[in-house]
Chains A and B, each alone.
Chain A
Amino acid sequence: MTSTNKLLLEAKGITKYFGTITALENVNLKVHEGECLGVVGDNGAGKSTLMKVLSGLYKPSSGALFFEGKERVLDSPKDSQNLGLEMVYQDLALAGNLPIGENIFLGREPTKNIGFLKFLDFKKIQEMTSAHLEKLKINVKSADQKVEELSGGQRQAVAIARSTAFNAKVVIMDEPTAALAIKEVGKVLDLINKLKSTGVGVIVISHRMDDIFTVCDRVMALFQGTNFAESQLDKTSRDEVIGWIMGKK
């Protein structure tokens, strides 16, 4: 099914050095429209580094990124955002001192002009936040609540809401369920399925086989910074994937 859908994001031969350490070596990755790719690997396998390269936070030492068929050079996360590629970080990347709405629109706040000056449009932020949270069925007391007052699950929900507020085409999630209570895990996985059904390509990095086997269509394993194995989900098993993580085929 995935091969017929449009290719959204492709990484070819990504290599990343930190000084003398090789974090990634010649790694390839593809995501299609409406597809969920699971990325697995042990700690230090290079998953997070790869995601940071894809989001423009790190520049690859060599290799190229293609977005909807065109080669793109990302100088900053702003560039990847402009292309419709969003990242949900493991540490959530929210500013606890700001309200939910201002976090969701951080860096892209709607403004209104008064004379030649631009002012923040708080009313619009509030309205758009409420509508967006409503759409994703995320319950919070109000959009004005500070993020530091929220539970871990609510924060994760805000982080995902943030990534999808601007018609994202590809959303990358780093361990989206790691810090959540069990009943909140289901909600997040539902949210991922909802995103897929709207044609968004999702990349999920996770240690939890339950997550991978609930939402993903394809799974790839990194081992010591290289592509180790890849398969359609229906052609593999949990035991095999766990073996890949440990470097066994």
Chain B
Amino acid sequence: MDDKEKKQDSLYVKLIPYFEKYGILLLLVIMILVMHILQPDVFLSWRNVTNVFKQISWQSMLALGVFMVIVTAGIDLSVGSIMMLSLMILAIVAKAGAPWFIVVLVPLFAGFLCGLINGLGITLLRMPHPFIMTLGTLYIFRGTGNLISGGTPISGFTDEVRYLGHGRIDLTWLGLEKSQYLPVSLVLIAVVYFVFWVFLNHSRTGKWIYAIGGNPSAARASGINVNKILIIVYSLCGFLSGIGALILAGRTDSGYPNAGLQSELDAIAACIIGGASFFGGRGTVLGVFAGVMIMGILRNGLNLMDVSSFWQQVLIGSIIVLAVYVDVLRRDFGTRK
């Protein structure tokens, strides 16, 4: 009896790290199964699945950027505004008749610059917390976007500009039907997430980002230039928001003043659901992806079932609280052993 208990116990202890790493994926799989049971004809259809990926495409970029910032124990509230400003600049440049490759590069550059401003503000102006700097730039960037565009939508981009957000990869050569295409934005998500996974887990800079989140004074004492790394992180976060703007331009074919309104909160929510810790140093790229997917699937599924968007807000809020509570419980078990 005792032996048996011991065996179970050690198996349980062995499972903890796996649960810690992949538990969130389990939740995602359960959600997919539940949705499939509730909507057997529609939910897992080619059309709906590609729809989900198209819907989460630009949010997933913001979430990834915010995730890196959260790993350093910081926060970026300005990602929605960075995306809107980048989108407006893209629209103006496109309307001015610039060639498509310029139009495509402009939002990436603009996003990067906005992120750089955040990073420089936090480190050089020695803001007491990134919350304050990025709260300021949340207003500044959106205001600037409205100033340069006059607060009115600007529509109509060329196909090249819309490719990342709207393009389709034809799969008829695989024997699939014409409607069964691969959205370019899905491929883009996969590529960007893979590149950042490699960056965060296999490069020195990535390791230092985690170290800064774990113990900034240890990082400093190890000779790591903490301010430089923070500036890199906020700049990359801005750059990813710029990619988000490019995707959104493709999806909506217009630059509009309300783009990305409150999407910074969605991005933060996805990170938290995905297991990132606000205290820094914890969380995985895979977890963020799962967090984004969970929010996307929840919205999609509730739409399919014709549930009002007010209920969606209530449910997403509940999931955030629940996900973090599960995390708290898990840590309790983990430390007791």
Contact = CB atoms under 8 A, between A and B. Distances in A.
B281 interface: yes
Contacts of A81: 223
Contacts of A91: 217
B129 interface: no
Interface stretch (B87-95, B134-142, B200-208): B200-208
A87 interface: yes
Interface of A: 55, 57, 76-78, 81, 87, 89, 91-98, 102-103, 106-109, 111, 117-120
B215 A93 contact: yes
B211 interface: yes
Contacts of A102: 207, 211
A106 B218 contact: yes
Given A98-B281, A102-B207, A107-B224, 10 more contacts: A77-B222, A87-B221, A92-B218, A96-B281, A97-B213, A97-B214, A97-B281, A106-B218, A119-B203, A120-B207
Contact of A96 (B198, B204, B215, B222): B215
Given A97-B281, A98-B210, A119-B202, A107 B215 contact: no
B282 interface: yes
Interface string B280-311: 01100000000000000000000000000000
A95 B221 CA distance: 11
B21 interface: no
A199 B215 CA distance: 32
B220 interface: yes
B204 A95 contact: no
Contacts of A109: 204, 207
Interface in B127-152: none
A120 B210 CA distance: 14
Nearest to A159: B218
Contacts of B220: 57, 77
B207 A111 contact: no
B265 interface: no
A95 B202 contact: no
B-side interface size class: 20 to 34
Contacts of B198: 119
A98 B204 contact: no
A95 B211 contact: yes
23 contacts: A55-B221, A57-B220, A57-B221, A87-B221, A93-B215, A93-B217, A93-B221, A95-B210, A95-B214, A95-B215, A96-B215, A97-B213, A98-B207, A106-B207, A106-B211, A106-B222, A107-B208, A107-B223, A107-B224, A108-B222, A109-B207, A119-B198, A120-B203
B218 A94 contact: yes
Looking at B202, B210, B218, B221, which has the most chain A CB atoms within 10 Å of its CB?
Answer: B221
Interface string B212-235: 011101111111110000000000
B223 A77 contact: yes
A173 to B, nearest CB: 13
Chain B contact residues: over half helix, strand or loop, or mixed?
helix
A118 B220 CA distance: 22
Given A98-B210, A98-B211, A93 B222 contact: yes
B302 to A, nearest CB: 35
Contact of A77 (B202, B210, B211, B221): B221
Contacts of A93: 215, 217-218, 221-222
Contact of B223 (A78, A95, A103): A78
Contacts of A98: 207, 210-211, 214, 281
Nearest to B202: A119
A57 B224 CA distance: 12
Contacts of A97: 210, 213-215, 281-282
Contact of A76 (B202, B210, B213, B223): B223
Contacts of A117: 203
Contacts of B203: 117-120
A77 B210 CA distance: 20
Contacts of A120: 202-204, 207
B18 to A, nearest CB: 14
Contacts of B281: 95-98
A87 B202 CA distance: 27
A52 to B, nearest CB: 10
Nearest to A95: B214
Interface in B171-219: 198, 202-204, 207-208, 210-211, 213-215, 217-219
A235 to B, nearest CB: 35
B204 A111 contact: yes
Given A57-B221, A93-B221, A106-B224, A118 B204 contact: yes
Contact of B214 (A76, A77, A96): A96
Looking at B211, B223, B225, which has the most chain A CB atoms within 10 Å of its CB?
Answer: B223
B67 to A, nearest CB: 15
Contacts of B282: 97
4 smallest beta-carbon distances between A and B, as pairs: A95-B214, A78-B223, A107-B222, A97-B214
A74 to B, nearest CB: 11
B310 to A, nearest CB: 38
Looking at A77, A95, A102, A118, which has the most chain B CB atoms within 10 Å of its CB?
Answer: A95
